Structures are given as structure tokens and as C-alpha cells.
Amino acid sequence: MRLRGVSRWGHAGAMTWWPLLRGIVARAVVAGPMLGLVVVPARAAPAMAPAAGGAVALAPHRAVYDLTLAAVTGGDTVSASGTMTYGVTDACASWSTQQQLRLQTVSRSGAVTDMESDYATLEAKDGHHLVFRTVQTSNDQSPSRIMGEATMTPSGGEVRYTQPSVHTVPLPAGTLFPMAHTAAIIRAAQDGEQAFSPMLFDGTGDNGAQYTYVMLLGWIQPPSASPYPVLARQPSGRVHVAFYTPASHDMRPDYAIGMRYFANGVSDRLDMDFGDFRMQGTLRSFTPVTAARRC
């Protein structure tokens, strides 16, 4: 499986958008620990989403989000704003997406940091294979790159990195790739679950999978409040996702995000907590993408 259509970095792939946002901000901005937002059990074996329920029909689409500062709770950051463009297409046996993130922060001393991140993956729909690339820059410095591919079997899997260095990291059994993680969240919400804790590998870090703890805060039937008719016709619900480093015994998440998910995998009303500041994400534009006529 190859990433296609990548003349400049980052124009094919598959993921949900929020792991990339977590990755760029957590590594480039946040200096202090996250405030504890949820109470989770001690490190138990990660639980997969229930297998009950029908298949989740994720929607190919293109979305643009405006990111604005919502609150400052301490630390050095006094201003933050940006945009995020996310597109996903149905590539028959896989999901292909493209994503670009632009973020600017200002410190108390007035120092301005401009960050850019381009991300691409190609994720097999059967959950067995993921190809990924991430390129990040800050203030026009030399870009950092994370590249490789991951494979999964019922007993576990591995990530084979080619950048920033050639190395292999094992993946625990049950690890989900990004689109599968999104589908698992929606399926759990549809089945009336309140919480679950899948492992996630998204390709934004070079040390393997992460714990995620997902809280499902209600699931309502349409009509949903949305200016886009195709979304208004979808069931929807609030979701809270916290991310944890497996090697850490700290009960506080590295990063957490809230959002409204529609049943087709589209999200809006983003609420991102980076510890010393919070950002909101507003869906500026949404365009459905026509699926391929034949595969």
C-alpha cells in the first residue's frame, strides 16, 4: 500500500483530525502537565468498543475549522489561533485523507511561534495496515518528519518507522488506527455505552500506541442543530477523549478534547484543552465528497 498523490508532503492518507492537533501542540507548545479532566481506572488492559451494532457509515468529506483561543489558565501562552483543513476520501479498500494545520501562539514576552503540520495516512478498512507521514515545522526551522507503516493482527502488531530513525515498535492487541478509532467511538455511542478505553496508533509520534479514554455524553436522534442539512439529518452526540502515554503512571492525560460527533464521522464544536490554555474549533465549511463510482 502506498500513499498516492503526494507531490508536496501531506496530500493523501487517513485519520481523524484531532490526533494531529494533539501531536503538534503537545510537542511544540505545552510545557506543563495537563490538568486532570477525567477520572479513569488504574492502568488496566485497554477495552475495545463493543462488537454489537451495525457497521458505521463514515462519510467522505472536506472540512475547514477555525481555531480560536477560549481561555488561558496559566503558563506562558496568551494568544493562540489557527486553521485546520481536513479531507477524507473513500479509496475502496482503504480510507485516504489529507490534513493541514496552521497554528500561531504568542507568549507573555511577545514571542510569536508559527507552527505548520501536514499529515497523510492510508488506512486499510479491515484495520490491518496503516501508512503514515507527518511533517511539522515551527518558525521556519528545519522540518521534523515521522514516516513509516504499521500492521495489525488479532494477536498484536508492529510499527516500522523509516523516519526520524529506522526502528520498530510493537503494538498491543486491539490497537486501533485512526478511522477505526472514530468508527469505534460512534458504534459505542449508538450502542448506549458510556465509556471505553481503546489503544490508538495514529502515526503522529515515534513511540507507538497511546491509551485513549473515551467518554460518551449522550446520543440524540435527528434533527441535529447544524447549518448543513446533510449533518442535521444525522444522529449526534458529545464525546470526550483523553490521551495518555502508556509508560506514564500519571492519571492526568497528556491532552484532552471534546467534540460533537455525527453518526457519519463528521465532527464540530471542538473543545481542546492543552493545560495552560483552551481552544475552540468552529466548523467554517463542510463539503461532502462523492465516492468513487467503482472500485
* pLDDT 10s digits, 119-133: 999 999 999 999 999
Nine-digit cell at 285? 465549511
- Residues facing 129 on adjacent strands: 151
Query: Does the pLDDT at position 295 exceed 90?
Result: no
Output 292 or 98, whichever has higher pLDDT.
98
Around 11, how many Cα atoms within 13 Å sit in the side-chain half-sphere? 6
Which residues, in sequence order, are CB contacts of 293 under 8 Å at separation 6+? Answer: none
Q: Cα 291 from chain centroid? A: 22
Is the separation of the CB atoms in 15 and 164 below 8 Å?
no
Output 48 or 13, whichever has higher pLDDT.
48
- Burial code (b: 16+ CB inside 10 Å, e: under 16) for 103-121 equals bebbeeeeeeeebbbbbbb
* pLDDT 10s digits, 94-103: 999 899 999 9
Mean pLDDT over 226-251 rounds to: 91
Which residues, in sequence order, are CB contacts of 49 under 8 Å at separation 6+? Answer: 184, 185, 187, 188, 193, 196, 198
What percent of the chain has pLDDT above 70? Answer: 81
Tell me the pLDDT of the chain averaged across its residues: 83
Query: Does the pLDDT at position 40 exceed 60?
Result: no
Query: Does the pLDDT at position 29 exceed 60?
Result: no
Q: Where are the alpha helices (DSSP H) in 97-252?
A: 178-190, 229-232
Residue found under cell 510537542: 27
User: Cα-flanking dihedrals φ and ψ of residue 285, to 5°?
Assistant: -150, 150
pLDDT at 14: 31
The CA distance from 151 to 128, in Å, is 5
pLDDT at 50: 39
pLDDT at 83: 96
Mean pLDDT over 174-202 rounds to: 96
Which residues, in sequence order, are CB contacts of 50 under 8 Å at separation 6+? Answer: 187, 188, 191, 193, 196
Lowest pLDDT segment from 74-88, 205-219, 244-258: 244-258
Domain boundaries, given as residue ranges, for the chain: 18-288
The CA distance from 114 to 81, in Å, is 10
Lowest pLDDT segment from 29-33, 184-188, 203-207: 29-33
Q: Which of the four pLDDT bands, split at 50, 70 and 90, describes residue 149?
A: very high
Mean pLDDT over 80-107 rounds to: 94
DSSP string over 177-188: -HHHHHHHHHHH
* pLDDT 10s digits, 190-202: 999 999 999 999 9
pLDDT at 20: 54
Query: Does the pLDDT at position 225 exceed 90?
Result: yes
Query: Does the pLDDT at position 228 exceed 90?
Result: yes
Q: Cα 265 from chain centroid? A: 12
What is the pTM assigned to this prediction?
0.83
Lowest pLDDT segment from 17-26, 93-102, 184-193: 17-26
Nine-digit cell at 25? 501542540
DSSP string over 117-142: EEEEEEEETTSSEEEEEEEEEETTPP
Mean pLDDT over 104-108 rounds to: 93
The CA distance from 145 to 135, in Å, is 5
